[in-house]
């Protein structure tokens, strides 16, 4: 039987990791999700991305990647969240000039549902994630391992205190 995920412990480790330089946003979300799954969740969970559908169809993955465990998602901030929080990264404002310009450059019609329509992808293999820069993964995993050791040591000290 698989033990339930201790989201409080994982959140504490990720808080410690962020203090050590762990970053999982601005292009590093796929590498961070892999590091979280493999280091803190012992391989449990699925790597899921939610992207703006119009841009994704043109080869631009604007959105977010996180680990899904059941109906709960985890990313670098360490707070368990519902799907809607991850999906919001793929919903882009029609009025945002940067996205409007990028849409025009790519030939995307940026009206109607296009800014708000998302696509959800479950990455079955690491090869599926090759569209992302995964080079930070090793460094991020090392930070998580160090943070996990520190949190475990703190827990032992707390338990041993009178």
pLDDT for residue 157: 63
CA atoms 114, 115, 120, 121: torsion sign = positive
Determine the pLDDT at residue 95: 85
Above 60 in pLDDT, residue 18?
Answer: yes
Identify the band that residue 162 occupies on the pLDDT scale cut at 50, 70 and 90: low
CA distances from 77 to 32, 41, 135, 145 (A): 10, 15, 20, 16
Tell me which residue of 42, 24, 27, 43 sits closest to 139, measured CA to CA. Answer: 24
Region for residue 52 given its phi and psi (left: phi exceeds 0; alpha: psi -120 to 50; beta: otherwise) = beta
User: What pLDDT digit, counting tens, does each position of 46-69 carry?
Assistant: 999 999 999 999 999 999 999 999
Domain-wise residue ranges, the chain: 7-151
Per-residue pLDDT tens for 127-159? 999 999 999 999 999 999 999 999 998 876 666
pLDDT at 3: 81
Arithmetic mean of pLDDT, 75-90: 95
Say if residue 104's pLDDT is above 70: yes
- For residues 79 and 11, the answer to whether their CB atoms sit within 8 Å is yes
The pLDDT, as a whole number, for residue 154 is 82
Q: Which residue has the higher pLDDT, 156 or 14?
A: 14
Q: Is the pLDDT of residue 160 over 60?
A: no
For Cα atoms 116, 122, 126, give the angle at the middle one, nearest 5 degrees. 130
| Global confidence as pTM | 0.91
Structure tokens at 45: 């969970």
């Amino acid at each position: 039987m698989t033990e339930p995920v201790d989201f409080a412990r994982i959140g504490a480790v990720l808080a410690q990791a962020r203090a050590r330089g762990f970053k999982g946003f601005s292009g590093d979300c796929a590498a961070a999700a892999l590091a979280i799954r493999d280091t803190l969740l012992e391989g449990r969970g699925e790597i899921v991305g939610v992207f703006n559908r119009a841009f994704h169809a043109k080869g631009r993955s604007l959105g977010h990647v996180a680990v899904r465990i059941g109906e709960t998602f985890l990313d670098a901030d360490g707070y368990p969240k519902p799907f809607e929080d991850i999906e919001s990264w793929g919903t882009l404002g029609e009025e945002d000039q940067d996205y409007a310009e990028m849409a025009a450059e790519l030939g995307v019609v940026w009206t109607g549902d296009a800014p708000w329509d998302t696509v959800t992808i479950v990455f079955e293999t690491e090869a599926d994630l090759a569209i992302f820069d995964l080079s930070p993964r090793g460094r991020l995993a090392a930070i998580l391992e160090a943070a996990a050791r520190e949190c475990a040591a703190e827990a032992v000290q707390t338990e041993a205190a009178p």
